[in-house]
């Protein structure tokens, strides 16, 4: 094993900036939905809209970075060791001394389960939020865009489903990252310092 820079400075910036933006978007979005009152509808709505544009800009930048660096390959799904990783997270983590079946390297940062989860996030949850959020945002322009036959209720409902899916993903991600490592929070070090213990 050796200590190696696995997560670049950009990856760490992108991860934490995205995390903060998503959390604040959920806080403002659920307030706009009427779940509670913290800022008031107008302020929450304005902030949600501003954060949405910042997050879309960050996502576009991240997509560009992934394709120009070739890091998009990190998210290609694989079934190699998939069941071993599933067994580890469902049974192995509850037994002392059981080692993780996936050994991280610079060329393979994510285990098979992570690859599937992140791919689902990028190909299902994020586009769902993008499309319905932009439709919601440009509601007054629907007739000019030839979308006059759409109804706001279903669009808002699908956006809300996407928001709950994102909430479930965030909770699962935080749990898996913070509490399944031995010792706890060990997985967070790599996303803070960039360095991980990897196989030579």
Write out the H or E segment, with its range, that includes residue 198: strand 195-198
Q: Which domain holds residue 107?
A: 2-198
Quote the pTM value. 0.88
CATH number at residue 40: 1.20.950.20
- Write out pLDDT tens, residues 169-184: 999 999 988 888 777 7
Task: Please calculate the CA angle 176-23-114 and round it to the nearest 5 degrees.
Answer: 30
By CB neighbour count within 10 A (0-12 exposed, 13-18 middle, 19+ buried), where does 190 fall?
buried
- The per-residue pLDDT for 28 is 96
CB 197 within 8 A of CB 2: yes
* Beta-carbon contacts of residue 154 (< 8 Å; ≥ 6 apart): none
* Beta-carbon contacts of residue 122 (< 8 Å; ≥ 6 apart): 75
- Write out pLDDT tens, residues 47-103: 999 999 999 999 999 999 999 999 999 999 999 889 999 999 999 888 888 888 888
Q: Give the span between the Cα atoms of 52 and 46, in whole angstroms.
A: 10
Q: Which two tokens stand for residue 96?
A: 């002392």
State how many domains the chain has. Answer: 1
- Write out pLDDT tens, residues 139-195: 999 999 889 888 999 999 999 999 999 999 999 999 988 888 777 777 788 899 988
- Write out pLDDT tens, residues 123-139: 999 999 999 999 999 99
200: pLDDT strictly greater than 70: no
* Beta-carbon contacts of residue 196 (< 8 Å; ≥ 6 apart): 3, 4, 6, 7, 104, 189, 190
């Amino acid at each position: 094993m050796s200590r190696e820079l696995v997560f670049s400075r950009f990856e760490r910036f992108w991860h934490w900036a995205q995390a903060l933006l998503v959390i604040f978007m959920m806080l403002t979005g659920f307030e706009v939905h009427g779940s509670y009152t913290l800022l008031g509808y107008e302020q929450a709505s304005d902030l949600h809209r501003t954060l949405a544009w910042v997050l879309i800009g960050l996502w576009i930048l991240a997509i560009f970075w992934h394709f120009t660096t070739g890091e998009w390959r990190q998210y290609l799904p694989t079934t190699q060791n998939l069941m071993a990783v599933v067994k580890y997270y469902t049974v192995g983590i509850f037994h002392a001394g059981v080692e993780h079946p996936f050994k991280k390297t610079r060329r393979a940062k994510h285990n098979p389960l992570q690859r599937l989860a992140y791919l689902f996030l990028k190909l299902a949850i994020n586009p769902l939020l993008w499309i319905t959020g932009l439709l919601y945002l440009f509601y007054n322009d629907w007739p000019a865009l030839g979308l006059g036959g759409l109804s706001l209720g279903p669009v808002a409902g699908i956006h809300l489903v996407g928001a709950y899916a994102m909430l479930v993903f965030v909770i699962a991600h935080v749990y898996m990252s913070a509490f399944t490592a031995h010792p706890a929070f060990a997985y967070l070090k790599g996303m803070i310092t960039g360095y991980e213990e990897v196989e030579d």
